[in-house]
Amino acid sequence: MGGVARSAATQKSLTTAASHLANRLALFVGAAARHAPPPQPSPARGEGVKSGGLGRFGSRILLLVMLALTTVFATAALAQETPVLTIGYLDLNQDPRYDDWGIHPVDIRSSTAITDRRAWPGAQLGLNDIERLKRVAKTGFALTRETVDGAAAMTAAIARMREEGIEFFLIDAPGPVVAEVARAVGDGAVLFNTTATDDMLRNDACQPHLFHTAPSQAMMMDALAQFLVSKKWHEVLVLRGPLPEDAITVKSFERAADLFGLDITATRDFVPGADPRAREQNDLDFLTGRADYDVVFVADTDGEFALTVPYGVQDPAPVVGAAGLVPRAWHWSHTRNGAPQVHGRFERMHGRRMLESDWGAWVAMKVIGEAVARGKSTARDKVEAYLKSQKLRVVASKGPGMNFRPWSNQLRQPIYLTTGDWVAAKAPLAGFKHRTNNLDTLGIEERETTCKF
């Protein structure tokens, strides 16, 4: 069984020990019986009952026998202990998504700010939660982590783990790293992308052995577009940041706007900072003036400029995207579908709020556990086949049961539309229907995908 760790030598030694202990117990009981006093005659009427057989030590000997038998059976059970399926977890020593982006300027110097936003705590919670499947799956579960310096080192780490029998891997890394690793590893392992939202991973860079628990950029932009349409905010001003990732985000939003009938009235580039020579690109009065719009969309991967946009635009208008109303895979404030219980377990375990990166790793662990338990196998090919079947239904505290899209291996899931401390809506919104599955109103459909397995 792939990744299952329990050596034959260990089982043999445990069985031998149990057998030896049972033989010693038999000798002990026999000796006790030979040296016991003879049975006493039946007492006359009115006399007290006198001990016979094992005598006055009988109760003590019986207790010792029971304890010894318990030890024998426990040792024998240990010899047949449930095997363990070990799951690999890989991330980077330096990841700009955590080290550079999304950090409030005050938090750079704050000792109370969240310093660890990586997905590893979510994987740990997932491991804890799937332990309940141990009896059904007839296997236990374990996690092993390796943090590396880049795609080549990650590929080498996976190769080493595969030599140890590990065949299932969670990856927390940026999209280009995930793409390179998936391409290099080939189909000898099953990989789970837990945090990278890049659309290209579900299109041209897709791989048949790469599954995505993180939602795609297209799914989040479609969720935003549905919300804007529902509010009749049809005219959109787009503010685009200087990073390549910002341009990719805008491209994804343009696709959603075209799909749902929104009108992008203007796209304006901004630059962070307060240089007065560039005020037409860093002053919101200039950026948001002389334009018609119902809503402002901000593409700001770094996140610092986006903090200034709500209530800073020239005309009164809501802000969406990187600030204001933000699409997310998970938010700690959701109060339905068992989400408070999941978040409560996470907070007790790790002492902080559960982030969407944590959710991606947590649900990946749940997916593996469910596939092993329901598919009744730990063999890689059988687990992978179950993951791709429509039998899979994972309940991940977001409402409907989820499974993977057969054309991209993307996990179908709702998207939360969130403020700083509340879930304002959950997409797909009412009124947005799909011919087979309403969750497929979010993201790249089969008819438009460029993924070729």
Interhelix angle for 356-375 vs 339-350, to 10°?
110
User: Is 387 exposed, middle or buried, given 0-12, 13-18 or 19+ CB atoms closer than 10 A?
Assistant: buried
DSSP for 410-438, written as a single string: BBP--EEEE-SS-EEEEESPTT---SS-G
Q: Give the pLDDT confidence score for residue 275 in this predicted structure.
A: 73
Nearest to 236 by CA among 216, 256, 219: 256
The strand pair at 423-427 and 415-418 is best described as antiparallel
Q: Give the pLDDT confidence score for residue 113 in this predicted structure.
A: 65
Q: Give pLDDT < 50 ranges for the chain.
A: 1, 5-12, 14, 46, 48-54, 75-76, 78-79
In the block, residue with structure tokens 């080549």 = 152
Residue 191 pairs in a beta bridge with 169, 210
For the chain, what is the radius of gyration of the CA atoms?
30
The strand pair at 84-92 and 4-5 is best described as antiparallel
Distance CA 219, CA 212 (A): 12
Contact 404, 209 (CB under 8 A): no
Distance CA 229, CA 186 (A): 42
Q: Give the pLDDT confidence score for residue 159 in this predicted structure.
A: 97
Contact 322, 252 (CB under 8 A): no
Question: How many Cα atoms within 13 Å fall on the side-chain side of residue 446?
Answer: 13
Assigned token pair, 177: 């790293």
Q: Give the pLDDT confidence score for residue 41 in this predicted structure.
A: 56
Q: Give the pLDDT confidence score for residue 51 in this predicted structure.
A: 47
Q: What φ, ψ does residue 106 adopt, rounded to 5°? A: -70, -35
Question: 117-154: per-residue pLDDT in tens?
Answer: 999 999 999 999 999 999 999 999 999 999 999 999 99
Q: Give the pLDDT confidence score for residue 450 in this predicted structure.
A: 96
Q: Give the pLDDT confidence score for residue 49 in this predicted structure.
A: 47
Maximum distance among all Cα pairs of the chain, rounded to whole angstroms:
117
Distance CA 136, CA 70 (A): 25
Distance CA 98, CA 96 (A): 5
